[in-house]
Amino acid sequence: MAEPAKKLAKIVINERLCKGCSICIDFCPTNVLELKGSCVAVKDLEACTRCQLCDLRCPDFAIQVF
Amino acid sequence: MSTAAPEKKEKVVQPFDYDKYLRPNKLPHIWCPGCGHGIVLKALLRAIDKTGLPKDNIVMVSGIGCSSRTPGYVDFNTMHTLHGRAMAFATGIKFARPDLKVIVVTGDGDALAIGGNHFIHACRRNIDMTVLVYTNATYGMTGGQYSPTSPIGSTATTSRYGNIEPPFDTCEMAKASGASFVARGTAYHTIELERTIYDALMHKGMSVVDIIDACPTYFGRMNKYKSATQMMEILEKDNTVNIKQADKLPPEKLQGKMLRGVLHKVDRPEYCDQYEEHVIKKATSKE
Ligand SMILES: Cc1ncc(C[n+]2csc(CCOP(=O)(O)OP(=O)(O)O)c2C)c(N)n1
Ligand code: SF4
Ligand code: SF4
Ligand code: SF4
């Protein structure tokens, strides 16, 4: 039987607020995020464990994970 | 009989709704990319939420500095006052309205240099307020001069050959001056910081939380840190130890480290209570 598909996280990035400081990228334990230009972007959504560390340490209210 | 294991319920933490406490349309804030002040603000809002206090019962007071811009973003009663004078204004507010929860947000320069006098006397009186000192070891707003918490040898626009002044230990100073609750946290340990601020808010009397956070623009750049992340890792994570773990560590592992957590907590008569008991009552009974 196939493994039930893991519910994917929903990562909401506010591009107007993100200042591209990279804190969320550097502290993400599973390397989900990357910098694209001066804004954070999702690189590997499947790896996200919804641990919330990116949101907790973002100084700019720019990222939320549901 | 089916032996299938019950489906494991995924533990999902929902993000905190900061909008509840932010003034609409004020973001983005003025702080530089990677500035720790925003991380501290978020921990503070989560701690306030835990107390369950209505927004109208909270007064946030600040002086001048990057950190002192905080009240401009939050939907409480707020006051942005004079450099170094936040605690003097906050004392007046608490004195007039002891029913309100008074929170002071202040930089290490604001609180300990120009405002050092107000700081020690607010501690001495043990007036019921919570003071959060954002310790980034520099004057961020005015371009990176050294502050009373800058380490010996660190570079600033005013210490090009390395700072020769020994720094204050904010917590020792608060304790010696009479504050009945003294704690330290960092922006890196954001969940622990939220708990520490919550404990400070619930304490009756003067509570001081020294919060190590990073100014990548000045302290970071002038002291050759590569990024805000690196500052958080070295200055906040590696350079501090939680007081509960400190007992278990050999002395050499504690060398040069700052302690985090609640460092001092005592019951001491609170200023507004004393005033009510020993001044108001006597004065009104004579009438
Ligand atoms: C009476 C007075 N003196 C000096 C200044 C200039 N000044 C503005 S902010 C500041 C220091 C701010 O440093 P700090 O309180 O550590 O806050 P940060 O900007 O680092 O968050 C100084 C010296 C002023 N505004 N008013
Ligand atoms: S929730 Fe955790 S795993 Fe997912 S992106 Fe954020 S830090 Fe990475
Ligand atoms: S921590 Fe926040 S501001 Fe910094 S890159 Fe990530 S989302 Fe953007
Ligand atoms: S100058 Fe420093 S303290 Fe001020 S906003 Fe920029 S990083 Fe933060």
Please report the pLDDT score of residue B216 as a whole number.
98
Q: Sort strands B206-212 and B181-186 into parallel, antiparallel or unpaired.
A: parallel
Average pLDDT over residues A17-35: 98
Given a cut of 90, is residue B287 above it in pLDDT? no
Given a cut of 70, is residue B3 above it in pLDDT? no
DSSP E strands, B108-150:
129-135, 138-139, 145-146
The CATH number given to B23-286 is 3.40.50.970
Phi, psi (degrees; rounded to nearest 5) at B22: -100, 145
Q: Is B72 exposed, middle or buried (0-12, 13-18, 19+ CB in 10 A)?
A: middle
Tokens of B69: 């811009």
Q: Sort strands B145-146 and B138-139 into parallel, antiparallel or unpaired.
A: antiparallel
Please report the pLDDT score of residue A6 as a whole number.
73
CA B257 to chain centre: 19
Give chain A's domain count.
1
Please report the pLDDT score of residue B2 as a whole number.
47
CA distances from B139 to B4, B6, B76, B107, B117 (A): 62, 57, 26, 8, 18
Mean pLDDT of chain B: 95
- % of chain B surpassing 70 pLDDT: 95
Phi, psi (degrees; rounded to nearest 5) at B236: -105, -45
Give per-residue pLDDT as tens, B10-45: 566 889 999 999 999 999 999 999 999 999 999 999
Asked, for residue A56, whether it belongs to a domain, the answer is yes
Q: Nearest CA of chain A to the CA of B186: how many Å?
A: 11
Please report the pLDDT score of residue A2 as a whole number.
61
Asked, for residue A1, whether it belongs to a domain, the answer is no
Asked, for residue A5, whether it belongs to a domain, the answer is no
C-alpha–C-alpha distance, residues B151 and A30, integer Å: 34
Q: Which domain does A45 fall in, by range? A: 11-65
* Residue of minimum CA distance from atom 6 in ligand 4: B32
Please report the pLDDT score of residue B6 as a whole number.
54
Asked, for residue A2, whether it belongs to a domain, the answer is no
Asked, for residue A17, whether it belongs to a domain, the answer is yes
Given A7, A23, A64, which is nearest B228 (Cβ)? A23
Given a cut of 80, is residue B231 above it in pLDDT? yes
Given A50, A60, A64, which is nearest B12 (Cβ)? A50
B256 Cβ contact partners less than 8 Å away, ≥ 6 residues apart? B239
Given a cut of 80, is residue B72 above it in pLDDT? yes
Phi, psi (degrees; rounded to nearest 5) at B180: -90, -5
Mutate to test the interface with B, among A60, A63, A64 (most CBs of B within 10 A): A60
Q: Sort strands A11-13 and A63-65 into parallel, antiparallel or unpaired.
A: antiparallel
Tokens of B36: 């720790």
Amino acid (one-letter) located at B101: K
Tokens of B284: 């009104």
Q: Work out the angle between the directed axes of helices B116-125 and B86-96 (0-180°, nearest 10).
A: 30
Cβ atoms of B209 and B153 within 8 Å: the answer is: no
Cβ atoms of B249 and B172 within 8 Å: the answer is: no
- % of chain B surpassing 90 pLDDT: 94
C-alpha–C-alpha distance, residues A44 and A57, integer Å: 19
Torsion, CA B88, CA B93, CA B96, CA B98, rounded to 10: -110
Cβ atoms of B145 and B222 within 8 Å: the answer is: no
Q: Nearest CA of chain B to the CA of A28: how many Å?
A: 11
Domain boundaries, chain B: 23-286
Q: What is the ipTM of this complex?
A: 0.94
C-alpha–C-alpha distance, residues B261 and B82, integer Å: 30
Torsion, CA B63, CA B202, CA B55, CA B52, rounded to 10: 150
Given a cut of 90, is residue B152 above it in pLDDT? yes
Given a cut of 60, is residue B1 above it in pLDDT? no
Alpha carbons within 13 A on the beta-carbon side of A7: 9
- Site residues for ligand 4, CB cut-off 6 Å: B 31-32, 35, 37, 66, 136, 140-141, 215-218
Given A23, A50, A61, which is nearest B34 (Cβ)? A23
Q: Which CATH number characterizes residue A29's domain?
A: 3.30.70.20
Average pLDDT over residues B189-202: 98
Q: Nearest CA of chain A to the CA of B22: how many Å?
A: 10
